[in-house]
Chain A
Amino acid sequence: GTRIVYERSYLMSLRQSP
């Protein structure tokens, strides 16, 4: 089935999300 995958760089880019 499908899986939600986030690479490290993308997760890090969301670090400062308000």
Chain B
Amino acid sequence: GEIPLDFTIKHPLQNTWSLWFYDNDRTKTWEENQIELTTFDCVEDFWRLYHHIKQPSELRQGHDYAVFKQGIRPMWEDDANKMGGRWLISLEKKQRNSDLDRFWLDVILLLIGENFDHSEEICGAVVNVRGKLDKIGVWTADTSKQQANLEIGRKLKESLGIHGKIGFQLHRDTMVKHSSATKNLYTV
């Protein structure tokens, strides 16, 4: 039968993205546990990767995935993140089976599809699988760009269908306090 034209070509992405995995091996340092698994620069390679790996809900607690623009490490210390922050979406344990995986996929699709007006401010996204609260963070480069960060937050809420408020935290505040005690610079 006929193959749709869209299935015969590769669709390039605006950016090349890296998938990272945080291993949580107690014998290693935090940095050593951050593993850059692979990169992808077209839609087809993203889907091939996505279908190959476990969903966040299947990961053991203490593990993370991160999807960041190539060259940006998923850590505060990276030059691209030093002046930045994150929109934080917290999920209760009961949401692990209903919302975690679809929120994570929708966040990645927003990122790689450049669906924010201010996509240039996006560094990447992280999903933390934890005991009490799972977290998804969308990291941006410059906390002083109010309009850009607010646009990103509103787009996230709208696309994921989140009804409650979400907050934006500076990395330098999160560094010194646990995320639940960190003040929000912005809220939408």
Q: Does chain A bind chain B?
A: yes
Which positions in A face B, CB cutoff 8 Å? Answer: 3-8, 10-15, 17-18
Contacts of B71 in A (CB 8 A): none
| Cβ-defined contact, B6 with A11, below 8 A | no
In the A-B complex, the 8 residue pairs with the smallest Cβ-Cβ separation, listed nearest first, are A6-B113, A4-B14, A17-B7, A5-B114, A8-B109, A11-B109, A14-B43, A15-B47
| Cβ-defined contact, A6 with B6, below 8 A | no
Interface 1/0 per residue, B30-47 and A, CB below 8 Å: 000000000000011001
A-B pair count, CB < 8 Å, reads: 48
B3 to chain A, nearest CB (A): 8
Which positions in B face A, CB cutoff 8 Å? Answer: 3, 6-7, 11-14, 43-44, 47, 106, 109-110, 112-115, 119, 159
| Cβ-defined contact, A6 with B43, below 8 A | yes
Subset of 14 A-B contacts with CB under 8 Å: A3-B14, A3-B114, A4-B13, A5-B115, A8-B106, A8-B110, A11-B113, A12-B109, A13-B6, A14-B11, A14-B43, A17-B7, A17-B43, A18-B7
Interface secondary structure of B, over-half rule? helix
Interface secondary structure of A, over-half rule? loop
| Cβ-defined contact, A8 with B159, below 8 A | yes
| Cβ-defined contact, B47 with A17, below 8 A | yes
B99 to chain A, nearest CB (A): 16
Contacts of A12 in B (CB 8 A): 109
| Cβ-defined contact, B114 with A6, below 8 A | yes
Residue of B nearest to A4 (CB): B14
B107 to chain A, nearest CB (A): 11
A13 to chain B, nearest CB (A): 7
Report the separation of the CA atoms of residues A10 and B13 in the bound assembly, to the nearest whole angstrom: 13
